[in-house]
Structure formats: structure tokens, C-alpha cells
Amino acid sequence: MFNDKEGDFIIVILSPAKNMNIKNFEQFPFEKPIFYEDTKQIFKTLNNIEPQDIESIMKVNKEIAFKTFCNFKDFNIDKKQGHALKCYDGLVFKHIGVEDFNNEDIIFANNVIRILSGFYGVLKPLTYIQPYRLEMGCKISINNNKNLYKFWNDKIYNEIIKTNKPIINLASKEYSKTITPFLKSNDTFINIDFLTFKNGKYKTVATSAKMARGQMTRYIIKNKIKNIEQLKDFHYDNYQYNEHLSNETNIIFSN
């Protein structure tokens, strides 16, 4: 019942949030992390880092560094605590609004949504995860790879592209960069941008754009959107499809 169904789906990629609140979808099973062994390798490095080093490497304050340190000390990759889509607590995820998802919504989300992660690589909504903090852009050496981009190399791309479905990019550049360098001419990769017209030009307003990414994700799940054309009907907070700014690989919504 909970496995991916064949069908004319898109794949939507999201960035994770820094803040987490561990919860799960009751009555739904936990799925094993896709990159189980890779996450174990990263953990071996992180488990040997002291709080003061975390503070420096991750550019966070003492409180966050100590909390991150404790989370890694408590980490056990086999511990089933929460479902990925329900655990992230940032602005995008608040606007996805999973609290009112029914079973059909959750199953559809698990088919379509993929959360990119510096620690886990790729997460499906029903993948089990634990509290962690590790941004993809963090300059940490793993197995002689100078950073996480080098460590993951093309693994994330290969996992996302293997469905042979159009990829809808609602992730930040920090995370979409795990895919874009490896794209081939026959891959369909659509960037979604939310632009605000201000002082005579269009620009991205970060907070509004994050909220809109969350709302679009919700729209996709609630309306069971299966193709690119259907995305263009989305509107939120005066954002609407802008045909003149859009092209084959970039769909722009403006207000």
C-alpha cells in the first residue's frame, strides 16, 4: 500500500530545515534511509567532533553547537523516531501544513516529494530520521572528500533521476547543486522561482519565496498534481504564473 505507484508523476525536490521537531504519521510504517551506509560513514566523522569544532565548522553559536553535539552522541541510525516530512520545522514546512494531511495525501507525498539532506542524502516523506544539523554547504571532510558535495558526488542525482520523471526544483541552490552539475540533455529539470516586483525590477524576497515554496508543495500534494502544466494554475499571496518571464526550464511566479 505504501510503496511508490507507477504513474505520470513529477518529482519535487526540497531543502531540509535547520529546525526540527520529531513527529510521525500515525499508522504509517517507517522506511529505511535510502543512503543508510553513507549516513553511517558521515556519522563516524561527526561523532568524533567536539562542540567547539562544531561551532567553528558549522558557524553556529555555543548553544546550537552543544545541542548538535548531543544529537550526534544520541544518534543511532536504526532508531525509528519520526517521519522526515513531519519532522522539519522551517518556514517551508510550516506552509506545507502536514497536520491536516489524510492518508491519500501522505501516500501521494511519499511518491512525489524528495527532501535533499547533507546527512541523509535523499529522504522520502516516510523515511525515519532523528534530530541532526548538517547543512550541505558545511565544509567538513568525510573519507578524504573535502566537503559534502565531493562526498555525495553524483549519488543524489542518480537517486532522483532514476525515476525518469520531470524534476521540479523547489530547493535552494545549496541543495539543488547536488543535482545540477550532473544533468544530461535528456533530463527534465524545472526551476521554480517566486519573484516580487520592487523598485522597478523583479527580485526574490527570501521569506515570501520560502512561504510560497511550502504552499506550492502543499498545492501539489492536496491536488495530486502529476504534470508540469498543472503547476501553472498555482497562486498564493498574489504570486501567479508569469508567462513572459518563464521558459522551458524556468517557471516564474510573480507578484
The H-or-E segment that residue 223 falls in is: none
Cα(44)–Cα(141) distance, rounded to whole angstroms?
Answer: 11
The answer as to whether 166 is a domain residue is yes
C-alpha distance from residue 13 to each of 145, 177, 178, 198, 224 (Å): 24, 12, 11, 28, 16
pLDDT of residue 8: 56
The answer as to whether 232 is a domain residue is yes
The residue ranges of DSSP E strands in 31-112, in sequence order, are 82-83
The answer as to whether 219 is a domain residue is yes
pLDDT of residue 61: 95
B/e letters for 191-200, b = 16+ CB within 10 Å, e = fewer, are bbbbbeeeee
CB 221 within 8 A of CB 112: yes
Cα(175)–Cα(192) distance, rounded to whole angstroms?
Answer: 14
Domain that holds residue 45: 11-254
The answer as to whether 5 is a domain residue is no
The answer as to whether 71 is a domain residue is yes
Q: If the chain, 255 residues long, is cut into consecutive pieces of 10 residues, what is the mean pLDDT of each piece?
A: 53 97 95 98 94 93 96 94 96 97 97 97 98 94 94 98 95 97 97 95 95 98 95 95 96 97
pLDDT of residue 1: 31
Using a CB cutoff of 8 Å and minimum separation of 24, what contacts does 198-202 make?
Answer: 202/245, 202/254
B/e letters for 165-185, b = 16+ CB within 10 Å, e = fewer, are bbbbbbbbeebbebbeeeeee
pLDDT of residue 196: 96
Sequence-distant (≥ 6) Cβ neighbours of residue 182 within 8 angstroms: 154, 157, 158
pLDDT of residue 50: 94
pTM: 0.94
Give 20's DSSP letter: B
The answer as to whether 1 is a domain residue is no
Question: Domain tally for the chain?
Answer: 1
pLDDT of residue 9: 86
The answer as to whether 6 is a domain residue is no
The answer as to whether 144 is a domain residue is yes
Cell of 198: 520592487
| Region of residue 80 (left: phi > 0; alpha: psi -120 to 50; beta: else) | beta
